[in-house]
Amino acid sequence: MFSEYTESLFIMAGINIILGFSFYFPRSAGMFSMAQGGFMAIGAFISAALTVKLGMPFYPALLIGGIVAGIVGVIAGFPALRIKGVYLLLLTLGISEVIRIFFLNFSYTGGVAGLGGIQLHTNLWNVYFTVAILVYFFHRLAPTRMGRAIAAIGEDEEAAEMMGIDLTVTKLQVFGISAAMSGLAGGFYAHYSLYITSDNFGVAKSLEILLPVLMGGTEVFWGAILGSFVTTFVPEWLRFIQPYRMMIFGFIIVVMMILRPQGLVDRSLVSSIGLRLRSIRLLWFPRPAP
Amino acid sequence: MLLQQLINGIMLGSTYSLVAIGYTLIFGVLNVLHFAHGEVYMIGAFVGLEFALLTKMNILVTIIVAMCATGLLGVMIERGVIRLIKREYPLAPLSATIGLSVIFQEGITKIFGADTIGFPDTFQAQSFQFGDVSVDSTQVTILLVSFFLMATLTLFVKKTKSGKAIRAVAENPVTAQLLGVNIDRVTMLTFAISSALAGAAGVLVGLAYNAISPFMGIRMALLSFAIMLLGGLGNITGAMFGGLILGIVEVLSTVYFSSTYRDAFTFGTMIVILIFRPAGLFGTKLQKGR
Amino acid sequence: MKKTLFAALSTCLIAGFGVLPTPVLSANLVGKEVVVGWLEPFTGMGSAYGEEDSVTMNMAVEEINSNGGVGGLPLRIIKYDTSWKGEQAIAMLKKLAQTDKVLAVMGPYSSAESEVTFPVANMLKIPIIGHAGSAPGLGEKNRPWAFRNVMPLTKTIEPAFAKWVQMYKIKTIARIYESTDFLNTSEATGILPPLLKKYGIQEVSTQTFSKRDINFAAQVTAIKAANPDGIWLSAIYEEGANIVREMRRQGMKQPIVAGVGITGPSFIRLGGQAVEGIIEPSNFWAGNPDPKVQEFVKKWSAKYKGQLPPHYTVNLYENVYILKQVIETSGVTNDPNNLDKDREKIRNGLAVLKDFPGVGLKITLGSDGDALKSSYVLQVKNGVWERID
């Protein structure tokens, strides 16, 4: 269908979308998390160690990587319960670094040498199937009790608590699920790049994840999708000005943030498109029974 | 040896303090994480280096020139980018400044090359020996200059009208505005001062460690976050001591453990402080929603 | 007519190189040009390498094209930026292999980039030859399509170390190495300990540092307190130069021997007076009286601010000529319909490459894909690397 080059860009964009979702999800509950680069490392190293060292098939390994990342996410979520805003951002940034340093020193997964010899299992189909499942998940989640609780917390935490929403449980659920998403993305990343080191993750990765989401917009999950495509493909289109391409890309980011600080996609844009598409959407995504 | 290591730590820490003070000021006044601040520090080092190479002036003149240049750059960043982004979107300045740091890193690479460079040997240091402890003239310069700058800044914010205005905004922007403080002017002044301090730190680090490179700001930015939290957000004295403490912790953990665990110490400290004493070691008011 | 002219030219060229390594099959290439890919960091952390290697690459391509090209056809290089990132290196390798349909690929630079691209080259069945990534085992893991024209770590370290021990009568050492880098860690923790045992040397202190550290006062103070006879240093040149400066600043006068990471003139430029007397093993020696080395150095400096060439860039220069020779002598057709066969021929040609006359040293690619190259022991004397073995 595509050349393998284009395909590899789509795969990278797909992995970035999953990572973008994992940032968007806690954000929708009012929590900024920069720990995604760390959770991603957990998914990547665990799934890769399972397939390489224990010969486990890819899909169970991918799932286990995601689940372990989710569990660590819940644990990391506990301190996050008390902390908000920029404090939370910095706390999660620290968690991300500590996880990276753990893998730098953990010799079972290669330590400083990194983990190689991973088989290629990631392809367009399984990445975008996962993206589709997550889109469906967000779609189905919105009208449920948990979805409404998340939205309420995102709007106003104290009001939500007074309405009887259990902040602790909801926040931990959100943190765990989003960490699991990062873990899945990490598993895909490991089985795509075939060799991973702790250098690939940590804060540097978290910032790389943050950028597409902020460019795309954090109000709706579509922002992560559009943002990932933009940040994956624009630097590629700029290749003709080779040495200056990253500079121009930086310039585009700055200008876009000035012109559209909420990101490319926001709620009003989605609803105006959504009105026109509603009839089509009803065919494809029948709303769940209330 | 311990005494010598403590001196090493204080040396290192005093440059951290200079950069971290800028962070904490900008964050206190604007509630914005300024990711490109590390790059301002880097540019300070390059300006200082070029000036020293061209004019062969002494180190103090070099520092002043670098401070003026980065102060101006800070004002340009504030006027040209930060001010243009609407305040309702706290994350947009974050991504815009990520974009700025890409531009600065790549731009400086294109102008000066990506190679690490050092100051010319005209600034060659003289060594003094006190028993087991050796100190040289560069180290003395660094200590004197950074402590002079920090003392001046403390006097400035405590005694002058503009300084008090900065402190007032940092502590509570709403009240400050009600009291008739010109927020625009204070913001600009904050950027100028913070960036000038970062520029001075850049020259001092370049002088002491002979390691000027377009990427020298990245780690400094992360460390400054940790220091900012250690000292308490918006707390200038806190940032000063935070920097010194972190410098000493880094030096001791490198010597008695291993450098691979050093950053785990740094960020581990940050996490612990956030969980148990979110106001920082030196205390600061906690504002809702931060 | 054209073909005879070309054959004459290429014979001249090969004769100019000295020895005829393998019997020359008459190259029989079709098409308008010979296209080879090149992956290199032009932006990001590694862009200094990209800048230096560009000079080398342009030099090699100009030389080849003004001397009849490759098998009579002009050589064209398609270069892509890796940004010092594995993912980008993979994507660009795929583009080179499938969209640009190049015969073979040179690069990428770092060990980390090579770790991710070499397995992909194996899957895509395209020959790839690196010039700098020196982490041990990289070639062996990625048989049969990946090759490296770099010094094998296991064989290079010992001569320099032995020479240093003998010169300075070393009995005790301290080692300091970058613990966040695989190359430096394997040097200091894999290769060094058996050597210490073999030469009966005692280690009195071990210190580590991380990538892009700038302050080494703490480690140096600790080493100074242990007072060893000499110091082993495994570092990239940037940190390496600053470590040595810090040692001299704190008044340590001990002799220092370093691993392969500090190679090149940048180390001296950055270290200045402080790095006088440092010993290292290297694949290249700019002072080598060999006329080919002198010509290379002269041409390179003229194109790059009058500086001496860094040592790894020579490998890239050699790689261009290695590929030229292999393409010309292993029956490559350059017909787009035969691309797979041509790539296989190039791979087979590389696998049996023996005693290729490089710039100064002869290159044989071993069964693990890594170059079997001898090396020099160099010491900094009056601001330049001088050979001492």
Q: Are residues C315 and C283 in contact, defined by beta-carbon separation less than 8 angstroms?
A: yes
Q: How far is CA C247 from CA B6, B7, B86, C231, in A?
A: 17, 16, 51, 10
Of B126, B171, B157, B142, nearest to B243 by C-alpha is B142
Query: Same domain, yes or no, for C192 and C324?
Result: no
Q: Do residues C54 and C140 share a domain?
A: yes
| Nearest residue, CB atoms, C98 vs list A4, A9, A197 | A4
Q: Do A258 and B261 touch (CB under 8 A)?
A: no
Which neighbouring-strand residues pair with B130? B133
For residues C108 and C110, give the distance between their C-alpha atoms in angstroms, rounded to a whole number. Answer: 6
- At C131-142, the pLDDT tens digits run 998 888 888 889
Residue A179 has pLDDT above 60, yes or no: yes
* Count of C-beta atoms within a 10 Å radius of residue C65: 15
A65, A49 in Cβ contact below 8 A?
Answer: no
- Give B106-148 pLDDT, tens digit per residue: 999 888 877 778 776 655 667 777 777 778 888 888 889 999 9
> Rounded CA gap, C195 and C204, in Å?
15
Quick check: A79 and B271 CB within 8 A? yes
Residue C34's DSSP bridge partners are C75
pLDDT, tens digit, 9 for 90 and up, residues A203-242: 888 888 888 888 888 888 899 999 999 989 988 888 887 7
Q: How far is CA B237 from CA A256, B240, C21, C31, C129, in A?
A: 36, 5, 71, 72, 55
At residue A2 the predicted structure's pLDDT band, cuts being 50, 70 and 90, is confident
C207 & C272 share domain? yes
Residue type, C107: G
Separation between Cα atoms, residue B5 and residue B62, nearest integer Å = 29
Residue ending a domain, among C252, C282, C312, is: C282
Which residue out of C40, C43, C47 would a mutagenesis test of the B interface target, given it has the greatest number of B Cβ atoms within 10 Å? C47
Contact C91 A113 (CB under 8 A): no
Nearest alpha-carbon partner for A5 in C109, C343, C87 = C87
Are C207 and C264 in the same domain? yes
Q: Does any domain span residue B122?
A: no
B287, B233 contact by CB (below 8 A): no
Enumerate neighbours of C (3 or more CB pairs within 8 A). A, B
Please indicate, yes or no, whether residues C196 and C139 belong to a single structural domain of this protein: no
DSSP code string of B177-220: HHTT--HHHHHHHHHHHHHHHHHHHHHHHHHHH--B-TTTHHHH
| pLDDT tens digits for range B188-240 | 999 999 999 999 999 998 888 778 889 889 889 888 888 988 888 778 888 99
Count up the domains in chain B and report the number: 1
Same domain, C190 and C247: yes
**Alpha carbon C160 to its chain's center:** 18
In A, minimum Cα distance to C116 occurs at A195
What is the predicted pLDDT for the residue at A89? 85
pLDDT at C41: 92
Whether C379 is in a domain gets the answer no
Taking the Cβ of residue A164 and every Cβ of chain C, the question of whether any pair is shorter than 8 Å is answered with no
C112 within domain boundaries = yes
Query: Does residue C253 form part of some domain?
Result: yes
- Mean predicted confidence (pLDDT) in B18-35: 86
My answer on whether omega of the bond before A60 falls inside 30° of 0, hence cis, is: no
Q: Is A98 on the interface with B (CB under 8 A)?
A: yes
Q: Which of B210, B215, B246, B266 should we substitute to test contact with C (largest number of C Cβ atoms within 10 Å)?
A: B210
- Are C6 and C142 members of one domain? yes
Last residue of a domain, one of C282, C301, C317: C282
Q: Residue C264: which of C232, C241, C243 has the closest Cα?
A: C241
Q: Is the pLDDT of residue C16 over 60?
A: no
Which residue segment(s) compose the domain that C258 sits in?
153-282
Residue C22 has pLDDT above 60, yes or no: no
The whole domain housing B68 covers 2-111+134-276
Closest-CA distance, A6 to chain C, in angstroms, reads 8
What are the pLDDT digits (tens) for A252-264? 889 988 998 888 8
pLDDT at A277 > cutoff 60:
no
Looking at the structure of chain C, the number of domains it has is 2
Whether the CB-CB separation of A51 and A58 falls below 8 Å is answered with yes
Name the residue in chain A with its Cα closest to that of B33: A86
Decide if B55 is inside a domain: yes
Identify the band that residue C26 occupies on the pLDDT scale cut at 50, 70 and 90: low
From start to end of C63-190, where are the E strands? 75-81, 105-106, 128-130, 146-148, 172-178
Same domain membership, residue C51 and residue C121: yes
The structure tokens listed for A23 are 């940032």
- What is the rounded distance in angstroms from the CA atom of residue A35 to the CA atom of residue C24? 59
Q: Residue C54 falls within a domain, yes or no? A: yes
Residue C388 covered by a domain: no
Residue matched to tokens 């020959």: C127
Q: pLDDT tens, C211-235?
A: 888 889 889 999 999 999 999 999 9
Say what percent of chain A tops pLDDT 70.
93
Inside any domain, residue B171: yes
C75-81 and C34-40: which strand pairing?
parallel
As a residue count, chain A comes to 290
Q: Which CA distances in Å does B62 have to B20, B43, B115, C35, C77?
A: 21, 13, 22, 50, 45
Say which residues have a Cβ less than 8 Å from residue B80's Cβ, sequence separation at least 6. none
pLDDT at C17: 46
Q: Is C71 in the same domain as C184?
A: no
Per-position DSSP letters for A10-57, written without gaps between them: HHHHHHHHHHHHHHHHHHHTT----THHHHHHHHHHHHHHHHHHS---
Strands B127-130 and B133-136: antiparallel
A120 lies within 8 A of chain C by CB? yes
Asked if B208 and B135 count as a contact pair (C-beta separation under 8 A), the reply is no
Q: Please indicate, yes or no, if residue B285 is contained in any of the structural domains.
A: no
What is the H or E stretch that residue B130 is in? strand B127-130
What residues contact residue C331 under an 8 Å CB cut-off, 6+ apart? C25, C28, C345
Beta strands C371-372; C202-209: pairing state: unpaired
- B64–A contact, CB cutoff 8 A: no
% of chain C exceeding 90 in pLDDT: 64
Residues C272, C278, C283, C287, CA torsion sign: positive
* A212: preceding bond cis by omega (within 30 degrees): no
C28: amino acid identity, one letter: N
SS3 A118: coil
Can you give the pLDDT at residue B121?
A: 63
CATH code of residue B42: 1.10.3470
Closest C-alpha among C180, C189, C176 to residue C220? C176
Angle in degrees, CA B222, B14, B66, rounded to 5:
85
Distance CA B244, CA B227 (A): 9
Quick one: pLDDT band at residue C238, thresholds 50, 70, 90?
Answer: confident
The maximal CA–CA distance of chain A, rounded, in angstroms, is: 57
The reply to whether residue C212 touches residue B251, judged by beta carbons under 8 angstroms, is no
C103 falls within a domain: yes
Per the CB < 8 Å rule, is B103 touching A254?
yes
Output the six-digit token pair for B100: 């700025």
CATH code at C199? 3.40.50.2300
Q: Which two tokens stand for residue C304?
A: 């790059």
Task: Calculate ∠ Cα C156-C161-C162, nearest 5°.
Answer: 105
Q: Are C267 and C241 in contact (CB under 8 A)?
A: yes
Total Cβ atoms within 10 A of residue A75 = 14
Is pLDDT at B290 greater than 50 in this prediction?
Answer: no
Mean pLDDT is lowest, of A69-73, B130-134, C86-90, C195-199, for B130-134
Picking from C253, C282, C311, the residue at the C-terminal end of a domain is C282
Q: Please indicate, yes or no, whether residues C27 and C102 belong to a single structural domain of this protein.
A: yes
Contact A3 C135 (CB under 8 A): no
Residue of C nearest to A103 (CA): C180
Is residue B57 scored above 70 in pLDDT? Answer: yes
Does B264 sit within 8 Å of A101, measured CB to CB?
Answer: yes
pLDDT digits (tens, 9 = 90+) for A81-96: 878 777 888 889 899 9
Q: How far is the C-alpha of C109 from the C-alpha of C35, rounded, in Å?
A: 20
Q: Do C187 and C198 lie in a common domain?
A: yes
User: How confident is the model at residue B107, as a pLDDT?
Assistant: 92
